[in-house]
Structure 1
Amino acid sequence: MSTYILIHGAFQGKWCWEKVKYSLEQKNHHVIAVDLPGSGEDMTPPQEVTLKSYTDKVIAVLEKVDSPVILVGHSMAGVVISQVAEYLPEKIQRLVYVSAIVPQNGQSLQDIMGDGGPKAIFNKTEKTLTLIDEYIVNEFFNECSEEDATAARRKMRPQPVLPFNGKVVLTEKNFGRVPCIYIETTKDHAIPVEAQREMYRQNSFDDVFSIDADHAPFFSQPENLTKYLHDIS
């Protein structure tokens, strides 16, 4: 069966993939969920975290896997998996973007999102953003159960901001040869589906799947998300 590497989005950690990871493993897939530097259980000081820190972490995981993987990125991690594919295209069977940012060559996450990101407080010393609590459920977990939303809110951490300014370098020779799949989320308040569609229509995606989910389909629609990820294999 296939090997999946799951990369979380901003403010989150590998914990967000627990349901999907378990379900894919029940289908005999090998699944690795990664904590990016400064996120989840990774204690890298946030002011030291850059886009290169992210890509280095994912590359280190990829290099330990013998066969090409299905590399899955949620939200902000669309930028991360794109740049990793440029560096190691031969290690990636497919890229899967789950309600994710799709950058063009030379773009950063900040270039794409502008001032349209989540409502958050900036800590100048630590170089982090902390989500304003009253907006978290409406922007991230609007279709989730109260139990899942409450548990997720407790685990969310301040997000290092320096990776947002890292510009990707993507070429047709490397990134362009990796097959790409997009999974859109139609009830997403963080990255509205219209914005998702505008991004993926600018790229050559092999397929697009649609889930009636919020920005956290791994909580609100884990069965459907697992089904699509399994079918992609």
Structure 2
Amino acid sequence: MTGAGAVAGTTPPTYVLIHGAAADSWCWHLVAAELRARGHGVVAVDLPCDDDSAGLSDYADAVLAAVGDRAGSADPGGLAVVAHSFGAFTAPVVCDRMPVELLVLLGPQIPLPGEAPGDWWANTGYPQARQEQDVRDGRAEDDMVGLFTNDLPPALVTEVFRRSRHQADKPFGDPVPVAEWPDVPTRVLLHRDDRFLPADFVRRVARERLGIEPDEMPGDHLGMLGHPIELADRLDAYWAERSGAAARRD
């Protein structure tokens, strides 16, 4: 059963999908297919995460290159950026460099302007939050399947780990190169069964850093693979809400 088509009364956007660390655009393939079936444009980006010389600015450059001529007035539907996990460090740089009408942070590591990703863990209190989550779950420290893919079927779990890429260290030392959070409508969507970025932790960080109350959907850290139709529904709803608010302002 598929979700609804493009929301009535709105122009379908192009969704720009940014993956997390040590991954590639494959992680979006199910939700990308669902979005395309609804009439949306989709740009699923491959970041240069295995390039030891590439930093956050290079990651943003890769996104802009992938979007190409879709940015700007030539694209009547506008651009919606969806950034997963570590991709949230690239997202504000992208929004600072091209016109974006909606930003959705999915199961994100939410940065502050000027914060280096390597400092994010201690700055947010992540180690304690993860330790508490591991105790609740009874998860062994070396259980990567249980940490990242506890909600996925075995075939997808196998493919996730088969496709894992080398993640270079350089971007973790790069402060996010924006002076302030971009002036773009922003939503945070967390996965309630995420063990890597626990829901309560993401909820607190979203409130403290963005003043945003996150929405929730089922899924582990890779909820776009486990629940692609629900994610597409959520994105459609966010776009419709953003479009309706813009129409009321006009």
Name the TM-score class by shorter chain: 0.7 to 0.9
Cα distance, 1:62 vs structure 2:
3.5
1:54 paired residue number: 59
Quick check: 1:7 aligned with 2:18? Answer: yes
When the two structures are superposed, what TM-score results if normalisation uses the length of structure 1? Answer: 0.82
When the two structures are superposed, what TM-score results if normalisation uses the length of structure 2? Answer: 0.77
Tell me the percent identity.
26
Taking the aligned partners of 2:177 and 2:88, their CA distance within structure 1 comes to 14
1:184 paired residue number: 190
- SS of structure 2 residue aligned to 1:47: coil
Say whether the 8 Å CA contact 1:189–1:215 is kept in structure 2: yes
Quick check: 1:195 aligned with 2:206? Answer: no
Quick check: 1:222 aligned with 2:228? Answer: yes
Cα distance, 1:212 vs structure 2:
2.1
Taking the aligned partners of 1:177 and 1:93, their CA distance within structure 2 comes to 9
Runs of 4+ that moved beyond 3 A? 114-118, 169-172
1:70 to 70, 75, 80: 80
- SS of structure 1 residue aligned to 2:90: helix
Say whether the 8 Å CA contact 1:78–1:101 is kept in structure 2: yes
Number of aligned pairs? 208
What does residue range 36-47 of structure 1 map to in structure 2 within 5 Å? Answer: 36-38=47-49, 46-47=51-52
Greater gyration radius: 2
2:163 paired residue number: 155
Taking the aligned partners of 1:28 and 1:103, their CA distance within structure 2 comes to 32
Say whether the 8 Å CA contact 1:180–1:204 is kept in structure 2: no
Cα distance, 1:110 vs structure 2:
1.3
- SS of structure 1 residue aligned to 2:69: coil
2:97 paired residue number: 87
- SS of structure 2 residue aligned to 1:64: helix
Say whether the 8 Å CA contact 1:9–1:76 is kept in structure 2: yes
- SS of structure 1 residue aligned to 2:80: strand
The answer for unaligned runs of 5 or more in structure 2 is: 1-11, 131-140, 240-250
Taking the aligned partners of 2:205 and 2:178, their CA distance within structure 1 comes to 15
State the Cα RMSD in Å.
2.1
Greater fraction helix: 2
Say whether the 8 Å CA contact 1:209–1:228 is kept in structure 2: no
